[in-house]
Amino acid sequence: MTQNSTASEGSRKGAMIWGNLLALSTSICWGFNEPANKVLIPDWLPASGVALSRIFGATLLIWIASLFIKPDKIQKSDWKLLWGAAVMMLGFVYVFSMAFNTASPIDIAIILTFQPMLVVAIHAIFKHEKVGRLEWIGMLIAFCGAMLVIVGGGKLGGGRFIGNVYAMVCAVSYACYLVILEGPSRRYGTVSLMRWVFLFSAILSLPLLFTLPRHMHLLQDPSWWPVGVLAFIILFPTFYCYLVTPPAIRMVGSEILAFYQYLVPVIAAVVSLLMKLDTFHWYQPVSFVIIVAGVMLANYAKMKQPGLMAKS
């Protein structure tokens, strides 16, 4: 009995270590994702070119990975959910890329930290789940932080504002994507699930191929640097992160994983400033602190009153 307990404790510790390492690795990949996209858009590739490369590249990789596992059989009632998730995936990947035409990579990373609150709001509005007053206050605080980034500290003019609005739309699309996949993600393995979502997204994105301009500089001058950056975006922030996030959640829980996500804008800011892709603005750290404070308040309220999240 003691040996079994020791083995079980060792297994839990091992899972926690691996879970934390996976969570940290995803945050690092996503932190580098914003400046990597800014390197390519629009100097080397248009936004649609990066979005299509991510979707088609990840689709190819995920289907190759599926050859080495026994796929789960998808229930008939879940196919419409997978198509819905594919629509949202295409939406946030494409709009995410569009934001980099004018927006700051630091701004985009900060706005995306508001996404967990959008998931809660979607649950409350469309699934009629009860949300406590303190949790609503936390969401309102986080929303104010996101709005501070969107308006650029009061500077509404220029393309930066439009890019930040795109980033907010991207956050909404990703939140809808997570809500749609909640049920299927509990019933199927990650590879079995994601291969269909990526495939459907690739099918839906086929008309976008005609929007690609002929002057794609990456095709005219295939320099190793932008090609390497594009390969990184496809392999790590897209393919790798989508595969390891579900097991990381199972190992350490969504709360710890969410904690690591706060590293993303910090990493994005440091990398962007070092690469001289962005400049520092006073509202960026202020808005980040406001968003994190709002999210933490909402999470605290939910933990103190778990019954609030029960369905009405």
Q: What would the two tokens of residue 83 be?
A: 């198509």
pLDDT of the chain, 312 residues: tens digit per residue: 555 555 566 677 888 889 899 989 999 999 999 999 999 998 888 899 999 999 999 999 999 999 999 989 999 999 999 999 999 999 999 999 999 998 889 999 999 988 888 888 888 888 778 888 888 898 899 999 999 888 875 555 567 888 899 999 999 999 899 899 988 988 998 899 999 999 999 999 999 888 776 556 666 666 788 899 999 999 999 999 988 888 888 788 766 777 788 889 999 999 999 999 988 888 889 999 999 898 888 878 877 764 433 332
Q: Are 217 and 45 in contact (CB under 8 A)?
A: yes
CA distances from 267 to 136, 189, 239, 296 (A): 29, 30, 20, 20
Contact, 146 vs 111, CB < 8 A?
Answer: yes
161 Cβ neighbours under 8 A, 6+ residues apart: 150, 151, 152, 155
Residue-level length of the chain: 312
* pTM score, whole prediction: 0.86
Long-range contacts: 276-279, Cβ < 8 Å, 24+?
277/35, 277/38, 277/39, 277/105, 278/35, 278/38, 278/104, 278/105, 278/106, 279/104
DSSP secondary structure code for residue 277 in this structure: S
Are 107 and 163 a contacting pair, CB within 8 Å?
yes
Please return the burial class of 204, using the count of CB atoms within 10 Å of its CB with bins 0-12, 13-18 and 19+: middle
